[in-house]
Structure 1
Amino acid sequence: MPKGIERLVCLRTLERFIVGGDPNGMGLGCLKNMNKLRGSLWLEGLGEVVDEAEAKNAQLMNKKNLVYLGLIFGGGSGISSVEECNKDAAVVEALQPPPNLEILRISGCRSISLSPHWMVSLIHLKKLYFIWCGNCEYLPANLGKLPRLEYLRISGMESVKRVGNEFVGIETSSSSSSSPSLIAFPKLKTVWIESMDNWEEWEYKITAGDITIMPSLSQLIISKCPRLKSLPDHLLHATTLKELNIFQGCFILKQVYKEERSRSRSGEMKIKIS
């Protein structure tokens, strides 16, 4: 980035900030006082960030007019060291977005887990993307508690093997005598999941309480998930799902849901298998 950019404290538009790994530069600290930024901001090359302190110095929380934030690590595939995984996790945690954010994209992060404490505080978030975070073994917890999320895309999280209660924020057991009422993903309309080579299980175990999951879902797209055995029953029978797309590479799912195609003739749900 240009030398001296940190002095542009009245700047409103900066769509891309590239971390170059320059030891003589300020890195993400250049953004510290740019609190008038608005619209979209993509932070690219976050794998080059020195440490958590540099990420925290960006003070993203104070940029209250940002709507779209991209956290692009560029880690790609390949083997990552424990130190790299831990550093990426700490950097994501330190890059807490402003509360009014509507779109968030995290790409190429090498962390084993992607559950920063600030995720569920993004109560205005409408679109969420997790792209090619290949080391991540679990989907972020409690995403079902995001009240306005409408669109969720997950791609290339190749280490995930199962998706369960933690994803939607359901407790596996309740110590309380009263059973809570919960609507998980209340506004979610579209879910697109692809390139999950080791994903085998997607199921929830509801033991207590009045729990509704994805009541507004209208479109589900699954692609390149060769080991996934089935979809949760509620997705087909307890939601407003109108379109189920099972595309290339989903060998087991294709066999399971070929029989469901007959429902498309009644107009209840359109099933595409290709």
Structure 2
Amino acid sequence: MSLGDDGYGDGYGGQDPNRGGGRGDTPLTRTRLPEGEDDLYGTPRRPARPKPSRNLITVVSVVVLLIAAIAFANRGGGSGDNDDSSNNSSTDHDPAAQPRSTAPTGERPVDGKNAKTGIASGFPKTQQGAQSAAANYAVALGSAEILNKERRHEIVPQIFTRTSVKGIQRKLDQAYSADMLHGLGLDANGKAEEGLTYVSRTVPIGTKTTVFSNTKATVEAWCTGVFGTAGEGSKTPVTNDWFTMTLTLRWEGSDWKVESFSQKNGPAPVNNDRTASTADEIAQAVEQYGGFTYAR
């Protein structure tokens, strides 16, 4: 994929040209699956695996810590889930309002981003706008910056509703405690030891709306990402993960904002036998390749 002069990819919003739509009014994300798997995500046939190494156990622990932090932050959830039931019923009659999965449209969802956080804003009041907002917010919530208290206190007010900011901020501060960060090999500010680089990047693979009305939307973002500490001597090497983040959005003012969010594992593809890169190669890649803050 190549980027244009304006920062967007060729075609629509940096989308891969191989991604196509579905049929009629329900465009779908095209995903290439390995051949010969009849039930890839149900009951896959897995080959026998050797006994997990100490590094693998450490990596699993890192992922568990991150998921536990998100679960803690969402304990209690958002409010007002039922006050739009009358509006949501409109999706049963209006074909244009039916939930849809990600598909390129050729329209740019937004024209700019917040100067302080770099997160896009001003998403349109459409399903595409809600999916765009959810994808961008998933990237922000899964970034390394969210571990830094100062940056977190800048990010949360931008992407969450006014009524949920205070509660979410408090829960995230508790979740990303000094003890939790220490378990990831980081200091109280979310920084790795000298000579090491902490990596936390989330990449949305696709999105779909499951609820949509004029004031509320629920969007699921299927994501992959890389997490861990890169560099020689790292006790938490960088690994990849697959998960689905569900974001409940509210239309507030002139933008979509997050009311609550949750995360679950998968769907995850079958791992290949590609040889893992060295710690130095991963650290250099993080420095040389900038992360995306824009999707859809």
Same-fold call, TM > 0.5? Answer: no
Higher relative contact order (CA 8 A, sep 6+): 2
Higher helix share: 2
Q: Provide TM-score, normalisation by structure 1.
A: 0.21
Q: TM-score, normalised by structure 2?
A: 0.20
